[in-house]
């Protein structure tokens, strides 16, 4: 789990940096199969582009880093895919998902959820009884990220590939076209970035050094977690 965590971390950071570089080459989004500089966009980001042919309203263009960004983006994506498959296989085989992530029926009560959400909104550090396990909100969030957001961001990313569109056209048409897949890919990526930011905040609140050391060495972050 620690190995897949850090490989995924490095892959996601590489995907984030290269994704931004790719995005600024054409910061306009469309819906349907086609879209270009002459097509009215669904929406556009208020940032300069790295290509002079893209109308952005700015009088200058940024340095074009699109070439190496695409190579590294694809390589990082495949690293994340294979690492994710290994993590899912390990989680199913060892019962990690059932034991540590699947919430119980009682924990899904409105009262329990309200208490957990209120604690997070107050940025309250976890108590001693919470340090060694995930609460219901964390469990639901991790399951959503692992089994919904990551598969969707991979699928929409593949749907932008001409090779995938030729070999498996249904994988693209289900989203409404390649440009629709690109737009959805952007929003799903934003959701994953928001998850990462909240994840980092919670790690800091629960003891950044202890948690990071535990994810590197495998030793419990807190003594009570040994029980």
Q: Is 82 helix (H, G, I), strand (E, B) or coil?
A: helix
Q: Domain residue spans in the chain?
A: 95-227
Give per-residue pLDDT as tens, 44-74.
999 999 999 999 989 899 999 988 999 999 9
171: enclosing H helix or E strand: helix 170-173
Identify the CA nearest to 123 among candidates 51, 18, 204. 204
Rounded-to-integer distance, Cα 118 and Cα 123, Å: 9
Identify the CA nearest to 127 among candidates 50, 55, 225, 26. 225
Q: Is 132 helix (H, G, I), strand (E, B) or coil?
A: coil
Contact, 50 vs 38, CB < 8 A?
Answer: no
Give per-residue pLDDT as tens, 122-160.
555 555 555 556 777 888 889 999 999 999 999 999 999
Give per-residue pLDDT as tens, 91-125.
999 998 888 888 776 666 666 666 656 655 555 55
Rounded-to-integer distance, Cα 196 and Cα 190, Å: 10
Output the pTM of the full model.
0.85
Contact, 182 vs 160, CB < 8 A?
Answer: yes
- DSSP secondary-structure letter at 206? T
């Amino acid at each position: 789990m620690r190995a897949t965590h850090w490989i995924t971390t490095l892959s996601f950071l590489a995907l984030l940096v290269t994704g931004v570089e790719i995005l600024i080459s054409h910061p306009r989004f469309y819906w349907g199969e086609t879209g270009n500089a002459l097509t009215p966009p669904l929406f556009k980001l208020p940032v300069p582009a790295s290509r002079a042919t893209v109308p952005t309203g700015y009088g200058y263009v940024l340095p074009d880093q699109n070439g190496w960004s695409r190579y590294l983006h694809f390589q990082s994506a495949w690293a994340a895919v294979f690492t994710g498959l290994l993590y899912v296989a390990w989680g199913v085989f060892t019962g990690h998902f059932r034991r540590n992530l699947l919430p119980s029926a009682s924990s899904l009560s409105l009262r329990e959820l309200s208490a957990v959400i209120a604690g997070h909104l107050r940025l309250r550090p976890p108590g001693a009884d919470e340090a060694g396990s995930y609460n219901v909100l964390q469990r639901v969030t991790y399951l959503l990220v692992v089994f919904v957001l990551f598969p969707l961001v991979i699928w929409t990313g593949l749907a932008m590939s001409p090779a995938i569109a030729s070999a498996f056209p249904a994988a693209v048409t289900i989203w409404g076209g390649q440009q629709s897949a690109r737009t959805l890919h952007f929003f799903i990526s934003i959701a994953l970035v928001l998850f990462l930011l909240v994840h980092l905040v919670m790690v800091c609140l629960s003891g950044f050094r202890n948690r990071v050391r535990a994810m590197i060495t495998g030793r419990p972050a807190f003594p009570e977690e040994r029980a």
